[in-house]
Amino acid sequence: MQAVILVGGEGTRLRPLTSTVPKPVVPLVDRPFISFMLEWLGKHGIDDVIMSCGFLATSVRNVLGDGSGLGIRLRFVEEPDPRGTAGALKFAEPMLDERFLMLNGDVLTDIDLSAQIAQHERTGAKATLSLVPVADPSAYGLVHLNEDRSVHDFVEKPSPDAIDTNLISAGAYVLQREILQLVPPDRNVSIEREVWPLLIGKGLYGFPSEGYWLDIGSPDRYLQGTFDIIEGNVQTAVVQRLGSDWLAIDDSAEIAGRVIPPAVIERGVRVAGGAHVGSLVVLGEDVSIGAGATVERAVILNGTQIGEGCRLRDCIVAAGCRIGARTSVTGGAVLGEGVTVGADNVIAHGARIFPGVALPDGAIKF
């Protein structure tokens, strides 16, 4: 079966991680983010995937290749200009089968696509929307279903007193090719706002699912997705790598300090004596952690050097950064690629330092 993944956005909410790397291939634990979606699709029999790209499309293609390593056929289409969710689908129309999946590329999930496809076939639907419950649906659009699971209506960003369901769209759709007749060519069209309303009562169904689902488009959600992967809250191949002790430490890593599970420690990592790493930490290749440093609930990407006595918690540090001795990076802070921070700095409160910035010793106490 075939799937189309929409990955055309610039990932602005995830900057500065996406300032130099397209969001689909931003590292998540131990692989490009979109690899989790491709592996999930493969488990449900999807073997032909079309990536609908825009921003930095060549970089995405260079990282992912033709999909042969994942056992799928991977192809790419590049929109000449932003065309919305339905417009992007229309642009890919010549490549589409009579039935296919359409997916939002921002999502980490393990919902049961096979069951969704089976319901789609059983009901004879033109479109079947995967729906997931969320604790606070006020920021999303609610979906009301009839008893036969056909869609009754949508409510966009309801007020608290209007919330009578917690089901929202999970951004995973089973579609019949004929719905593209409702999409005008060569313009920006939203499938959610302009196509679904036309299909209510005419073959639009919902599929409620209890699976894991997370929109991973912001730094706090990136961290949450990382933690959920290494804790096993979402079904991924990383769980097998972690094993029963919930630690994945490459044989080449030099660990003189302490590592608390769950954690992933990649090739060439060096953790000096007296350093404390974990729990809930990912250290990318060739990361070094100085003596007496503490790293907790954090992602540190390839080649970054953390000085002695540093404190890092609830933060993301991109590749190739240098952090001087006794500096603190906490509270949702994000450092972009190649940032240099001198000694005795304090970076917190969700601060975002963009790629290539250099801060001298004691320059910031934020």
Whether 205 and 349 share a structural domain: no
Domain membership flag for residue 216: no
Report CA torsion sign: 218, 220, 224, 230: positive
pLDDT tens, residue by residue, 143-175: 888 999 999 888 776 566 666 677 888 889 999
Q: Which of 105, 99, 122 is nearest to 45 (CA)?
A: 99
Mean pLDDT lowest among 212-216, 255-259, 332-336: 212-216
Q: Are residues 207 and 258 in the same domain?
A: no
Contact 364, 345 (CB under 8 A): yes
Please choose, from the candidates 71, 84, 86, 172, the residue with its C-alpha nearest in 3D space to the C-alpha of residue 131: 172
- Supply the pLDDT for residue 181: 92
DSSP designation for 292: T
Which of 153-167, 185-199, 259-273, 311-325 has the lowest average pLDDT? 153-167
Same domain (yes/no): 185, 290: no
Same structural domain, 34 and 174: yes
Q: Which runs of consecutive H residues, i.e. helices, occur in 92-150?
A: 113-123
Q: How would residue 202 be classed by pLDDT, with cut points 50, 70 and 90?
A: very high
* DSSP character at residue 237: T
In a domain, 364, yes or no: no
Say how many C-beta atoms besides its own lie within 10 A of residue 160's C-beta.
7
Does residue 11 share a domain with residue 106? Answer: yes
Average pLDDT of the chain, as a whole number: 90
Same domain, residue pair 158 and 270: no
Stretch 295-322: mean pLDDT: 97
Residue 220 falls inside a structural domain: no
Tell me if the bond preceding 137 is cis, omega within 30° of 0: no
Question: Do residues 165 and 22 both lie within one domain?
Answer: yes
User: Which CATH number fits the domain that encloses residue 351?
Assistant: 2.160.10.10
User: Is 125 inside any structural domain?
Assistant: yes
Q: Which domain holds residue 296?
A: 225-359
β-pair partners for 128:
174, 205
Residue 6 lies in a domain: yes
pLDDT tens-digit readout, 33-87: 888 999 999 999 999 999 887 655 667 777 777 777 778 888 888 877 778 888 8
107 and 242 co-located in one domain: no
pTM, two decimals, is 0.90
Checking if the pLDDT of 94 tops 60, the result is yes
Whether residue 331 sits in one domain with residue 258: yes
pLDDT tens for residues 339-362?
A: 999 999 999 999 999 999 999 999
Query: Is 219 a member of any domain?
Result: no
148 in the same domain as 6: yes
Q: Number of folded domains in the chain?
A: 2
Above pLDDT 70, what percent of the chain?
A: 95
In terms of Cβ atoms closer than 10 Å to its own Cβ (0-12, 13-18, 19+), residue 366 is: middle
Cα–Cα distance between 158 and 166 in angstroms, integer?
A: 11
pLDDT at 24: 82
* Domain C-terminal end among 153, 178, 211: 211
User: Are 231 and 116 in a shared domain?
Assistant: no
Residues 206 and 236 in one domain: no
Which pLDDT value is given to residue 133?
86
Which residues on neighbouring strands pair with residue 75, listed in sequence order? 50
Residue 218: inside a domain, yes or no? no
